[in-house]
Chains A and B, each alone.
Chain A
Amino acid sequence: MSLAKSSAVVSLVRRRWQLFVLIALIVCFPILIRTYFLTRVGIVLALFVINITGMTLLTRYAGVISLGHSAFFACGAYFSAILTAKAGWNPWVAMVVGAGVTVIFAYLFSVPFLKLRRAYLAMATLGLGQVAFLLAKDLTEVTGGVSGIPGIPHFSFGRVVLREDWQLFYLFGCFVILFVFLTENIGQTRLGRAYHAIRTNETAAQAMGIDVQRELGRLFCFSALVSALAGSMLAHFITFISPESFTIDFSFTLLIIVIIGGANIWGTLITAVVLIGFSEVFRGFQDLSMGFYGLLLILALFAFPEGLSAVLFPRGYARREMSAKDLEPVLIDLKNPGNLQRSVTDMPLREGKILELSDISKNFGGTEALSKVSVSVDYNQIVGIIGPNGAGKTTLLNVINGFLTPQEGRVTFQNRDVTNKTPHEMARVGLGRTFQLINLFKGMTVLENVMVGGHLKGRSGILMGGFNLGRPRHEEAMIRNTAMRSLEFLGLVDRAYEMVQNLSFGEQKLVELARALAMEPELLLLDEPAAGLNSAETEKLSEILRRIRARGITIVLVEHNMPLVMSLSDLVFVLDFGREIAFGTPEEVSRDKEVIRAYLGQEG
């Protein structure tokens, strides 16, 4: 028993050694460093580190460049300053209120602007930072203008006023540990993978059920909250604030740190210590600090284009070794065993139509891509969609999937009208999808890619996931298990910890299929699964698709490989120039005059 306990501690320390080093450093710092100046450097550093935790997730994971976080930093600081120095509130209450108001502002900003493409979003955040700075500078009646707000009280616990620097250092140190802990947890689990997915391939991320707008909006608000709290701490630390702390240089500095640091909180933390530490220690040359940052930024990006973390902590997150436990059936939800665990015998017998398209028309700027297309697919069928290039096959899949909305017609899925649903909503109701061109998330392992497919198995948000207790752990184990089972199903278990871009083309196509299976879909849409595969691989694919169907999953596939489609499909649907020309069994279709004409006409 005690052995098990001590080994649990050992594994915790091994997994979390960076956090323990950080705690030790924070505890020891004021004891070892006794000079007034260096303690203050430590405090400034702590404030920067708190700021970069949110920025690391936002910029390096999710790929959102913000040039405006000085606005949130300023908002937290000014609310705290005004509510305490002018209205006489308690600093703690002011801090919470300031952070709350900042989150509301961040939300109001994110609703219209997070929709913008990334470069435009960067410009909008630049504007946001400028607005905050100008308001601080010019709204003299409220903010004191350039002369700022003096006389801000210190934090206090009861009658103990935190006036000494070492007290503040410990206080801020606790916040540093908290936010670093949260950020690391978020980065390593479901939401971290979702952010990575959004950055590397937004289309595929949507198809996996990730609500991109919502997830980015929440992350943006979270990073704003973190910055606001840090701003408030700044105000109660130096007891005086003025607009010059909140210039665009501040936002630039944060951005430079996370770009050099890379997609890992420890990488950005080390970068922050080096950069801020140096520039504070050589304070006499402070004017040179921005130039120094600039030089470091350029040199660092030449030395490690993926960021410092890529060198210090290779393979990013989830560096766990493979264990036998991965394949054990953990935590099976008895009410919903998931269709990979489902065996043929206990397969629910379902009759009727799973998918029905009626009179779908879609045109792009006058060109009719689909006109009056009607198809219906029964449960547990394999339906092949064929047709010459440009016949509208992928368009049809995109209409079913919700990437496109048809001008006319109705899409019904499991007796529900889903015509206007978005891709992530379609994923939620049970639609899996693979793509014509490989749409994997680069920079993640095979297992992590497949785990993105299990995104919808979890519901915990940023704060829940950050503390990683209870439900998120349960969800993570479930997602991991489902992903491993999908990989096992496709014979890819031994590749689970490879980086996905190192796999062969054929294997990458299988990973895409595994990712779609991890969604545990009712219906699987496959866009040219055999394209680019050699004959042995095609053979294997055909066997896999049969096995998938045997698990009770309905399949609709678009494919050019005729022998494959004809041998696999129960029904074949033929499209030509956006119109249905035949729909029937493979034998009927291959005898159909129109079909022969369309194909021969194209080839001859």
Chain B
Amino acid sequence: MLEYILQFVASAITEGCIYALMGLGLVIIHRSTEVMYFAQGTIAMIGGIALYALSTLYHIPPVVAVPVGLVVCVIFALASQWLVVLPLLDRGVTPLNVSMITIGVGMILEMTVMMLFGKDPLPVAPFSGDEPINVLGASIVPQEFWIVGSTVLALLLALLFFKRTWIGKAMTGLGDNPLLARASGFPVRRMFSYSFVFAGLVGGLGGIVSTPISYTGYWIGTRLVIKGFVAAAIGGISNPLGAVLGGLIIGFFESFTAGFISSRLKDLITIILLLLILRLRPQGLMGERQ
């Protein structure tokens, strides 16, 4: 029994980390622009596809392929900001409508990827073999360590950025009051750019490290971004740490529902959890009441 539980915990943490990365990017963009960035799942998908192209097609080792993949993701995130999000906000389109438009951005990118890479699931080899490691009776594939490790690293870097740099501090302080930010002469555009770079990095990372255990393909973005939203909503859309907490909570709920009840119910349970949280604590577990 114990090893079963450990197995569930391991898979909960792995999945939870991916959701956390998705949620983290969404929270940061929402804080700085009030936009719900629906293309975040597509950015993650592009990360996975870039890794597939580099490592499966051209046999480039992960040491090179992963950073290149991250750069690709950042480029796409920034491009969507410069070409679509900012110009529309400048034209007075409301953030909520811009959010819907980022769905369109995601759709275009998905279509492009589908035309270039086809519709089949695309495999990527794990970074360091697929020999499971036995931890107290639970068998864990090495890729899961990569996932957890890179999430922790990304989180630490994010925390350093928010706590130590002035623009990071300002982003968390002024994020929910763009008007005040603009009035106080704060470089709002630079803050926007930073938040999209950040979202590109964490989204890409989520897509890249998870691809070896789950395949990739043009369609994976929607599922990822929905999970990211649920994570952000549960934890609190205004709090980066909340998104991480939310991601882990979903990971645990899914893993244990699948393990003890039925894998058919795991998505349903997550959504019901989301609705419950929205009902009882709309600002999320770690969000501030407004």
Say yes or no: B271 contacts A291, CB within 8 Å: no
Assembly CA distance A134 to B265 (angstroms): 8
Selected from A120, A126, A134, A291, the residue in CB contact (under 8 A) with B268 is A134
Could you show 11 A-B contacts with beta carbons less than 8 Å apart? Answer: A120-B278, A123-B278, A126-B229, A127-B275, A128-B275, A131-B271, A134-B268, A259-B97, A293-B104, A295-B104, A302-B87
Assembly CA distance A138 to B262 (angstroms): 11
B266 CB to nearest chain A CB (Å): 10
Confirm or deny: B167 has a beta carbon within 8 angstroms of a beta carbon on chain A: no
Give A contacts to B, CB under 8 Å: 63, 65, 112-113, 116-120, 122-124, 126-128, 130-131, 134-135, 138, 248, 252, 255-256, 259, 287-288, 290-298, 301-302, 305
Say yes or no: B275 contacts A294, CB within 8 Å: no
B51 CB to nearest chain A CB (Å): 22
Selected from A131, A259, A291, the residue in CB contact (under 8 A) with B107 is A291
Q: Which residues of B contact A118 (CB under 8 A)?
A: 96
B46 CB to nearest chain A CB (Å): 14
Say yes or no: A290 contacts B107, CB within 8 Å: yes
Q: Which residues of B contact A296 (CB under 8 A)?
A: 104
Give B contacts to A, CB under 8 Å: 34, 36, 84, 87-88, 91-93, 96-97, 99-101, 103-108, 110-112, 114-115, 119, 222, 226, 229-230, 233, 237, 264-265, 267-268, 271-272, 274-275, 278-279, 282
Say yes or no: A124 contacts B278, CB within 8 Å: yes
**Residue of A whose beta carbon sits closest to that of B262:** A138
A176 CB to nearest chain B CB (Å): 25
Please judge, given known A-B contacts A120-B233, A291-B111, whether A65 and B84 are in contact too, CB under 8 Å: no
B192 CB to nearest chain A CB (Å): 18
Q: 6 tightest CB-CB pairs across the interface, nearest first?
A: A291-B111, A294-B107, A294-B104, A297-B104, A294-B108, A138-B264
Say yes or no: A130 contacts B226, CB within 8 Å: yes
**Residue of B whose beta carbon sits closest to that of A252:** B103
Say yes or no: A298 contacts B84, CB within 8 Å: yes
Q: Which residues of A contact B265 (CB under 8 A)?
A: 138
Assembly CA distance A252 to B229 (angstroms): 16
**Residue of A whose beta carbon sits closest to that of B269:** A134
B176 CB to nearest chain A CB (Å): 12
Say yes or no: B110 contacts A291, CB within 8 Å: yes
A366 CB to nearest chain B CB (Å): 16
Say yes or no: A305 contacts B91, CB within 8 Å: yes
Say yes or no: A123 contacts B100, CB within 8 Å: no
Assembly CA distance A255 to B112 (angstroms): 22
Q: Which residues of A contact B237 (CB under 8 A)?
A: 119-120
Q: Which residues of B contact A63 (CB under 8 A)?
A: 96
**Residue of A whose beta carbon sits closest to that of B274:** A127
Selected from B101, B112, B114, B267, the residue in CB contact (under 8 A) with A134 is B267
Assembly CA distance A287 to B107 (angstroms): 11
Selected from A131, A255, A292, A305, the residue in CB contact (under 8 A) with B88 is A305
Assembly CA distance A65 to B94 (angstroms): 12
**Residue of B whose beta carbon sits closest to that of A116:** B282
B267 CB to nearest chain A CB (Å): 5
Assuming A113-B278, A119-B96, what are 5 further A-B pairs, CB within 8 angstroms? A123-B233, A131-B268, A131-B271, A138-B265, A301-B93
Assembly CA distance A112 to B279 (angstroms): 6
**Residue of A whose beta carbon sits closest to that of B103:** A252
Assembly CA distance A288 to B84 (angstroms): 20
Q: Which residues of A contact B91 (CB under 8 A)?
A: 302, 305
A115 CB to nearest chain B CB (Å): 8
Say yes or no: B282 contacts A117, CB within 8 Å: yes
Please judge, given known A-B contacts A120-B233, A123-B233, A124-B275, whether A130 and B267 are in contact too, CB under 8 Å: yes
A33 CB to nearest chain B CB (Å): 29
Q: Which residues of B contact A295 (CB under 8 A)?
A: 104, 108
B85 CB to nearest chain A CB (Å): 10
Assembly CA distance A63 to B107 (angstroms): 23
Q: Which residues of B contact A248 (CB under 8 A)?
A: 222, 226
Say yes or no: A301 contacts B268, CB within 8 Å: no
Say yes or no: B101 contacts A65, CB within 8 Å: no
Selected from A120, A122, A126, A305, the residue in CB contact (under 8 A) with B226 is A126
Assembly CA distance A130 to B274 (angstroms): 11
Q: Which residues of A contact B88 (CB under 8 A)?
A: 301-302, 305
Assembly CA distance A124 to B230 (angstroms): 9
A311 CB to nearest chain B CB (Å): 14
Say yes or no: B103 contacts A294, CB within 8 Å: yes
Q: Which residues of A contact B278 (CB under 8 A)?
A: 113, 116, 120, 123-124, 127
Say yes or no: B93 contacts A287, CB within 8 Å: no
Say yes or no: A256 contacts B282, CB within 8 Å: no
B40 CB to nearest chain A CB (Å): 14
Selected from B96, B104, B272, the residue in CB contact (under 8 A) with A122 is B96
**Residue of B whose beta carbon sits closest to that of A121:** B278
Q: Which residues of B contact A259 (CB under 8 A)?
A: 97, 100-101
Say yes or no: B271 contacts A301, CB within 8 Å: no
Q: Which residues of B contact A305 (CB under 8 A)?
A: 88, 91-93
The listed residue with most A CB atoms (<10 A of its CB), out of B93, B97, B222, B230, is B97
Say yes or no: B268 contacts A138, CB within 8 Å: yes
Selected from B115, B272, B274, the residue in CB contact (under 8 A) with A123 is B274
**Residue of B whose beta carbon sits closest to that of A65:** B96
Please judge, given known A-B contacts A113-B279, A116-B282, whether A122 and B108 are in contact too, CB under 8 Å: no
**Residue of A whose beta carbon sits closest to that of B114:** A287
Please judge, given known A-B contacts A118-B96, A130-B267, A248-B222, whether A301 and B101 are in contact too, CB under 8 Å: yes
Say yes or no: B110 contacts A120, CB within 8 Å: no
Assembly CA distance A296 to B104 (angstroms): 8
Say yes or no: A119 contacts B105, CB within 8 Å: no
Q: Which residues of A contact B34 (CB under 8 A)?
A: 119
Selected from A119, A255, A288, A291, the residue in CB contact (under 8 A) with B36 is A119
Q: Which residues of B contact A288 (CB under 8 A)?
A: 111, 115
Say yes or no: B104 contacts A123, CB within 8 Å: no
Assembly CA distance A293 to B237 (angstroms): 28
